[in-house]
Amino acid sequence: MGKTMFLERSVEIDRPVGDVFNYVRFIDNHRHFSIWQMADPDMEVTSTGEDGQVGYVHSWDSQVRKVGAGSQEITEILGRERISYELRFERPMRATNYSNVHFLSLPHEHTRVTWDFSGEIAFPMSLFSFFIRRMLARDIDKNLANLKDKLEE
């Protein structure tokens, strides 16, 4: 019944780190691998700033409950090593969470992508923190598998 949450999931992709980083940094590309974006192709999307740059904000509004409404802001880009995001959810519940995508160059032009997610879980949802973590880990694993498939095709 923890009040804070941190989870981390990884995948190895058979592509050079520069290719993987340059694809992921553009939030518009997330629609090709994010199960949350693919869940509602008709959601309303708005943005401010330049995609792939710090300060870019991608906002969505969907009638699909799992998708809900909120925004994702690129808060930091550290070389080709990490992209940091602030996620502000409005629906189905209000929350602010943080996510990082880490890129590690491996031998033979492979890349390890590690996606982490952190934030607080407010009561009464904290009573279900185990199930929330498990569901979120499963979703991130699917996103990473989709990313791997997309970049290796």
pLDDT tens over the chain, length 153 residues: 457 778 999 999 999 999 999 999 999 999 999 998 999 989 999 999 999 999 999 999 999 888 999 999 999 999 999 999 999 999 887 889 999 999 999 999 999 999 999 887 665 555 555 666 788 889 999 999 999 999 998
- Architecture per CATH, 4-152: 2-Layer Sandwich (3.30)
Residue 69's pLDDT is 95
Residue 117's pLDDT is 93
∠ CA 109-25-59, rounded to 5°: 155
Q: Can you say how many angstroms the Cα of residue 70 is from the centroid of all Cα atoms in its chain?
A: 13
Please tell me the distance from the alpha carbon of residue 3 to that of residue 10, in angstroms, as a whole number: 24
Domain ranges of the chain: 4-152
Residue 65's pLDDT is 86
pTM as predicted: 0.88
CA 82 to each of CA 19, 65, 96, 112: distance values in angstroms, whole numbers, following the listed order: 14, 30, 20, 12
